Structure 1
């Protein structure tokens, strides 16, 4: 597995300082932008799509922010449609070339010509592309 663009961030919390590992990457086309975060409370992978034909058209329950373009999975549980008020990606984010993979905190993401797939150790996650998105 290849590690792409690893950065260590220190987040100040009321009870002290917690350390988080963060990996950001994008697909070769730039249409899929992803972030993986692992800290003492667990890990999450999230990918946002710039352009897509939506496979999910029902707003997540209780979501008051943007939805339908962001997909996530934790190191436990199933993949889910994320309700977000931000976006991942930006200038200078490393490209995860087709056939390459990156892992952090028990979650792995693989880049393919057919899209990006992120899974946890239980086999749950998501697969996203411009044409189709799938949660499992």
Structure 2
């Protein structure tokens, strides 16, 4: 009887143990289930966050607006050429340099001499000898708008002169408009540089230096001379 009671008790204990283990197993599964639910919740909350920049009108427009502004700024900074390629006519009141700084000797005669920053175009205005007109000459240029063709060497280089109310294209064979040419040893051949944006005016002639060349005006006529431009302008072409 005692042995049988003992076996019964042992079976009961094992049953209880099994029940305890089963409950423990169920308890251990609950955090896993909760964790799974939590993971789903997190993934759902992440989804709207990742979509918000695309759906946000402000965010969507920021990038393109910045790009458009950059393009517009670039375009706005580009210079706008004047109608027909002619520069704006300049007058004595536009001068922004002291003409006296450019006065000096040329080939045996004094005038106000200057040259382009590249040194390709040399000019002289208001000569001591009134028989010598104001004008410019280039080491190298192109056929003039009036059809004059020079060789770009030796005794045939391009020149434009302001004569009797007209801009006249010619080929010259000497340094008429080259400052310092009478005293080459002093290192001023060509005259003082007229920097881009600078305007000189003296004796009724006004000249401006720009990246398109040197342009001069007198009596409502003008010209532009550079390596790739050789244009003359009729009276009153661009008065303001």
Do both share a fold (TM > 0.5)?
yes
Of structures 1 and 2, the larger Rg is shown by: 2
| CA positional deviation for 1:40 | 7.9
TM-score, normalization by structure 2: 0.43
| CA positional deviation for 1:52 | 1.7
Q: Tell me, what secondary structure is at the counterpart of 1:55?
A: coil
* Residue aligning to 1:49: 138
How far does the alpha carbon of each residue in 1:37-74 deviate from its partner, in whole angstroms, 9 at most, with x for none? 24585773211111123235446xxxxxx555011114
Moved more, 41-50 or 96-105: 41-50
Contact 2:168-2:232 at 8 Å conserved across structures? yes
* Residue aligning to 1:6: 103
Instruction: Give the structure with the higher percent strand.
Output: 1
Instruction: Give the structure with the higher percent helix.
Output: 2
* Residue aligning to 1:37: 126
Aligned CA distance change for structure 1 residues 130 and 38 (closer, same or farther; 3 Å): same
* Residue aligning to 2:196: 98
* Residue aligning to 1:62: none
Q: Does 1:80 align with 2:168?
A: yes
| CA positional deviation for 1:105 | 1.1
> Comparing both chains, which one has the higher relative contact order based on Cα–Cα distances under 8 Å and sequence gaps of 6 or more?
1
* Residue aligning to 1:16: none
| CA positional deviation for 1:81 | 1.1
Q: Does 1:134 align with 2:223?
A: no
* Residue aligning to 2:217: 119
| Whole-Å separation in 2 of the counterparts to 1:58 and 1:69 | 9
**Structure 2 unaligned blocks of 5 or more:** 1-94, 150-154, 182-186, 234-240
| Whole-Å separation in 2 of the counterparts to 1:24 and 1:86 | 15
Aligned CA distance change for structure 1 residues 58 and 31 (closer, same or farther; 3 Å): closer
How far does the alpha carbon of each residue in 1:106-136 deviate from its partner, in whole angstroms, 9 at most, with x for none? 110100011010001x320211111121112
Q: Which runs of 4+ in 1 moved over 4 A?
A: 38-43
TM-score, normalization by structure 1: 0.72
Contact 2:205-2:217 at 8 Å conserved across structures? yes
Aligned CA distance change for structure 1 residues 68 and 106 (closer, same or farther; 3 Å): same
